Chain A
Amino acid sequence: MTIEEVRQIILNILADIAPDEDISSIDDNTKLRDQIDLDSMDFLDIVMELRKRFNIEVPEKDYEHLATMAGCVSYLTPLLKDRPLAS
């Protein structure tokens, strides 16, 4: 998966988690929770979606890497780089 594809899968997850939010204008370097009002319950959903879709376990100590889109991409790209783009 390319960096762009990783970014897209995160957008897909966010679109599923927050169906009423506009995610097209997300800024990669601003905290996600400040842009689309994510709380800790939603964060759990991102982590669980990653587990469900890609079998990736994000340990609690690494949650901080998922705070921004840029952080998500740099944390997840190494874990996903050998994967084909799946659903």
Chain B
Amino acid sequence: MRYDTIVIGAGLSGLAAGIRLAMFDKKVCIVEKHVELGGLNSFYVRKNRTFDVGLHAMTNFTAKGVRSSPLGKLLKQLRFSHDDFRLCQQEMSEIRFPEKALRFTNDFEFLRQEVAEQFPNQIDGFNKLVEKILSFDELNLDDSVPLLSRPVLESFINDPVLIDMLFCPLMYYGNAREGDMDFYQFVIMFKSIFVEGFSKPQGGMHYILNLMAEKFKDLGGELKMGNGINTINAKQGTVYSVTLENEDELETETVLSSMGYVETLNRCNPEVAEVGVCETGQVSFMESLFVVDREPRDLGYDKSIVFFSTQPRFDYKVPGDLIDISSGVLCCSNNFKCPEPLEDGLIRLTNLASFGKWDRLPRKDYISAKKEWRARALEALFTFFPDFSENVVFLDSFTPKTIKKYTGHINGAVYGSPKKIKNGKTPVNNLFICGTDQGFLGIIGATLSGISMANLHLLK
């Protein structure tokens, strides 16, 4: 038997591509090395509690009936109704720096008002920047001239604090590059976070992933879990099969891989010469989850998400230490407009982290380093926010090393390589990539990546 397509990875991009292909009667099999769905947006269970990994919130919230937005397109293409995703909107989020705070909601005019109040002499420049962003075609798949964001922002805004404050959430939620951001990525993130906004599916990532996997299987797709790809085999430069970890060989016309660009080329047999010159991502995070004994708002945490920097200037880069405690993201799942309150109070803290530093620790030091740096991160946090340490009933942390272990992404780089392969092509014929390294980021972005690569290369 020969497949039309083998999809590598049962994350959002792989599942979305799988649904599109199965919908049009392609013989498709998704192969996932982990035993759980989700890839970089997954979940795990500890002490009977299910925790999301990756997901703080879904960006790109638009209301039911908006069809032309990324969320609207995604729902249409996968033939879900808006109600199927059970999205609960955020209440209010915040960017908090030492001297200034900007609050934002799913109504963009609220943020505009905040900028006008906090930075009165920058509002004209901010408005012009917004005009530029709204008229920019960020979805063009052609690799155009690279354009970085900082010079663009500096041409409209001359207060570096405002620039850093705008960068902070956009970088944390989707920037693979240190220090600056490609402008088209800035535009994608600006629209998805500020212009559209945050929501959270009731039931978390687990719910959305199951919804997609069920649809895929109902359409006749095949899903192999806990069995990764060993090699992607080519003859005369064209893919013809994949060999799995259990040594089964599956013949196929095409392969769509979401495992990362370099990660994919590394599996090619024969070897692909290009591998050595590719840039790999470096940006990764440590995340700690704190289950608290009451609603976070009763502890002084009333925002949905807070992006903070304890220093006047925000620096987005791989830290010299194991983690960077001077900035981070706080997320309270409870502070979304859910129809029913969640069982537990949950506060998550995310900090930039160095894969290299974590990876070089011997096993015995790794566990104690997690504890030590979690404590340091909290100490820095509590100089800025109320102390909740007396209220913690359960806690857990994961590091870039954990991310690498479960997702296979080099350096645990959650946003992949800074150099995106927008057209999804590889040097091997009929081998394409989707997901993080293709260029659309976040949960909605990854899903659209799977859809658009399936449409572009595998369905026409």
Please report the C-alpha to C-alpha distance between residue A36 and residue B65 in the assembled complex, in whole angstroms. Answer: 10
- Which residues of B are interface residues toward A (Cβ below 8 A)? 24-25, 64-65, 67-68, 73, 75-77, 79-82, 451, 455, 459-460
Residues of A within 8 A of B75 (CB): 20
A37 contacts the other chain (Cβ, under 8 Å)? yes
Contact of A44 among B25, B64, B82, B455 (CB under 8 A): B455
Contacts of A17 in B (CB 8 A): 76, 79
Does the CB pair B459–A37 fall under 8 Å? no
* Residues of chain A in range 61-75 having any CB-CB distance to chain B below 8 Å: none
A39, B68: Cβ atoms closer than 8 Å? yes
> Shortest beta-carbon distance, B29 to chain A, in Å?
19
**19 A-B pairs (CB sep. < 8 Å):** A16-B79, A18-B67, A19-B79, A19-B81, A20-B65, A20-B75, A20-B82, A36-B67, A37-B68, A39-B68, A39-B73, A41-B73, A42-B76, A42-B77, A44-B455, A44-B459, A44-B460, A51-B24, A52-B24
The 9 closest A-B pairs by CB, nearest first: A37-B67, A19-B81, A48-B24, A20-B81, A52-B24, A52-B25, A18-B76, A20-B82, A41-B77
A48 with B459: CB separation less than 8 A: yes
Bound-state CA distance A41–B455 (Å) is: 8
CA distance A45 to B75 in the complex (A): 13
The answer for the CA separation of A2 and B460 in the assembled complex, in Å, is: 29
Bound together, the chains give a CA A60 to CA B436 distance in angstroms of: 31
Give the residues in chain A near B25, CB-CB below 8 Å: 52
Give, as a whole number of angstroms, the nearest-CB distance from A43 to chain B. Answer: 11
Q: Which residues of A contact B77 (CB under 8 A)?
A: 41-42, 45
- In the complex, how many angstroms separate the beta carbon of A34 from the nearest chain B beta carbon? 12
Q: Which residues of A contact B65 (CB under 8 A)?
A: 20
Cα–Cα, bound, A41→B454 (Å):
11
Give the residues in chain B near A51, CB-CB below 8 Å. 24
Chain A residue at smallest Cβ distance from B66: A37
When C-beta atoms are compared, the residue in chain A nearest to B83 turns out to be A20
Which chain B positions have C-beta within 8 A of A21? 67
Chain A's closest residue to B65 (CB) is A20
With A18-B67, A20-B67, A36-B67 given, name 6 new contacts (CB 8 A). A18-B76, A20-B65, A41-B73, A41-B451, A48-B459, A52-B24
A79 to B455, CA, bound (A): 26
Bound complex: CA A42 to CA B455 (Å): 11
Distance between B221 CB and nearest chain A CB, rounded to angstroms: 15
B212 smallest CB distance to A (angstroms): 15
- Shortest distance between the CB of A44 and any CB in chain B (Å): 6
